[in-house]
Amino acid sequence: MKKLNNDLKNQMSEHNIDDSIEVDSQEKKEKFNIKNISIKNKFVFIPLICFAVILISLLSYSLVNNFAKHPEQTKKNAFWEFNLVKPIFAQVKEATSKIKPSIPLSKIKISEIENLESFTKEENIQFSQIQKQTLENDGFFLDYNNIIKDQSGFQDMDDFVDMYDAFDGNSNQYYRKQNNAIFISSDTALHLYHILVDRSFQRIEETKFQPMLRSMTRALFLDSINKYNSVDDTKLKESYKRLSAYYLIPLVVLDAGNTSVGINLKPEDYDTFAQYLDAVDKQIIANSEKDFMFSLNNKTYDGVELSDEIYQLAKSELELIQKAKGKEASPLFTPLRKELENDYSQFKPRSHYTKNDILKSYFISMMWYGRMGFVVKSSDLTRDALIMTGQINNLKVSDEKLSEMWSDMSAVIDFFVGEVDDLTAYQYTDLIKKVYGNSNISDKDFVDDELLNKFIDKAKKELPSPKIISEALAVFDDGGKRAELLADTMQFRFMGQRFTPDAYIIGNLTQGVGIPDPETGQLLPTMPTALMPLSVIAPDNTVVKNYLDEWINNQERIKQQKRESDKIIAKVIAKLKQEFSSYSQSVWTQNIYWSWLNCFKPLLAKYGEGYPYFMQTDNWIKKNLSTVLGSFTE
């Protein structure tokens, strides 16, 4: 005790405490007015401090370790920031060209065709008298193409190119006879346009977008399920329950795509590397031919425990998506949107998305994110969308901001296909700051019904309504009230449906169950024709108009659809032609999709003096219409 007293005395001296203060505990209590604290108690307090420090360290380590396991999560109770901005992508300078055609008018004479015999003798192609006469009259004729054989192999050449090779017209002029010169038509150019765009986009989707979407979806799911397990507020818990199921559904699909795509082959097991590549090709084909399967079989997914409700919601949706049979009520969304009948047949992969399971999983997941929306008129679904916007703005995937991944992916899709026709995190980020302020915002703020209703009112007034109805709804599509119907379907989507001009035109020229147009007394057709968008893109093309009129007045169509539509179609098309005629060249070239449709305009135009004779004929316009319809189908 004496030693302790001396130590304490020395310590107090070092801290400029008067040396005259005696170490006697009773006097110390009186001198400093410290009550009920003895030197012994002070000594006992030191290990308590040490224990507290150790306890805090353990708790800190636990928190850090937990965050390391789930780096995608934001800190509990942390404020959210809303800084999402739309990036500038692929700026281009408009290029213009002026052409003055000056080819002398000249007609073909069969007797002057030098290489006619090479077709008959070398290729064994016999021309009929009608074909020869048409060749003289129009400068060309069309015939059924039976040259191309079956090409079901994985790496077979493109049949369109093979058709040209069949005429002995080698692409290299040094290997081509002068009389076998190839005429490169617009069919070839548009087909190659399709190949370039399709394969470029496919490559990006398969190698970049699918992994990005999978990483983002996993981060969003983990954040939602952790918040669901930790929040106490009933409204927030319900939102995080729905969001957990909403993200889990595409996550299961994306994970299944990655699991089933593996190729268990090694080059060393084959005599040559070429044999190995052939085996890889065969396995890719075999994998793609199998049904792509996915399911949720138990209440633990990837080490995460699921509640009964989340499990059942996700499982039910996945079963409907797997069947892809038709219209059904959505287990997740229809309880909050009674009019929604989701068309699950849309989840069946098509086009290049059937080539492997990576692409199949990407297609299905993007279809989920693009079709399943959070309507503005629903308070519960709008709260979900506000939380999702907060997640997009604040979560991280490894060291990368989820917002940057999301906006990068969206920008590329915008460039290829077109801008989103729905509300997204961009619009909601700006509106959240207007309603909830610029700082100190958390998910708890979205519980406030007064602020939530204010957000909904401002969204309806200030944000754009969709231009296209992109879902199946059990509602009346009354004539003259399409704008009201579109406003009623206003919704937020994680990756929304894209606006394309042809879909917009077709949407305006078709109609579901409802009352007729009050002015004409007619209903629009229930099903479209590809001639509809072409009649707007090429408003002066009489060939297109004549074929469309023939379709409109077809008695079999009228009987099948139980409606005449000539007057209402004429009315709507006139309005659409006026709208599209005001678009500048920058609108028509704003992205790859618009530019593709823009290519149809000169093909469907009438060619005048200075162009080759065959291009000035009516049959050439029909041939170009066939070309455009083929490209439109691609």
Confidence of residue 74 (pLDDT cuts 50, 70, 90): very low
DSSP-assigned letters across all residues of 369-396: HHH--EETT-HHHHHHHHHHHHHHHH-E
Q: Measured between alpha carbons, how far is 462 from 433 in angstroms, rounded to an integer?
A: 14
* Cα distances (angstroms) measured from residue 239 to each of 17, 32, 82: 61, 57, 19
Confidence of residue 148 (pLDDT cuts 50, 70, 90): low
Average pLDDT (252-268) is 82
Asked if 74 contacts 393 with a C-beta cutoff of 8 angstroms, the reply is no
Residue 229 has pLDDT above 90, yes or no: yes
Q: Measured between alpha carbons, how far is 431 from 435 in angstroms, rounded to an integer?
A: 6
What's the pLDDT score for residue 291?
Answer: 87
**Which of residues 47 and 430 earns the better pLDDT score?**
430
Residue 576 has pLDDT above 80, yes or no: yes
For the chain, what is the mean pLDDT?
Answer: 83
Q: Measured between alpha carbons, how far is 629 from 559 in angstroms, rounded to an integer?
A: 26
Q: Measured between alpha carbons, how far is 215 from 557 in angstroms, rounded to an integer?
A: 48
Residue 261 has pLDDT above 70, yes or no: no
Average pLDDT (417-428) is 92
Give the SS3 label for residue 498: strand
Confidence of residue 264 (pLDDT cuts 50, 70, 90): confident
What's the pLDDT score for residue 486?
Answer: 76
Q: pLDDT tens digit string along 508-558?
A: 999 887 888 999 999 999 999 999 999 999 999 999 999 999 999 999 999
What's the pLDDT score for residue 19?
Answer: 38
pTM: 0.80
Q: pLDDT tens digit string along 120-142?
A: 777 677 889 999 999 999 999 88
What's the pLDDT score for residue 146?
Answer: 62
Write out the two tokens for 131.
């074909």
- Residues found in the chain: 634
Average pLDDT (616-631) is 94
**With 0-12 CB in 10 A as exposed, 13-18 as middle and 19+ as buried, what is 183?**
exposed
**Per-residue exposure over 552-591, b if at least 16 CB sit within 10 Å of its own CB, e if not:** beeeebeeeeebbbeebbeebbeebeeebeeeeeeebebb
Asked if 356 contacts 426 with a C-beta cutoff of 8 angstroms, the reply is no
Helix 234-260 vs helix 357-371: angle between axes, to the nearest 10 degrees? 160
Average pLDDT (291-316) is 95
**Per-residue exposure over 496-513, b if at least 16 CB sit within 10 Å of its own CB, e if not:** bbbbbbbbbbbbbbbbbe
Q: pLDDT tens digit string along 150-200?
A: 555 544 555 566 666 665 566 677 776 666 667 788 988 999 899 999 999
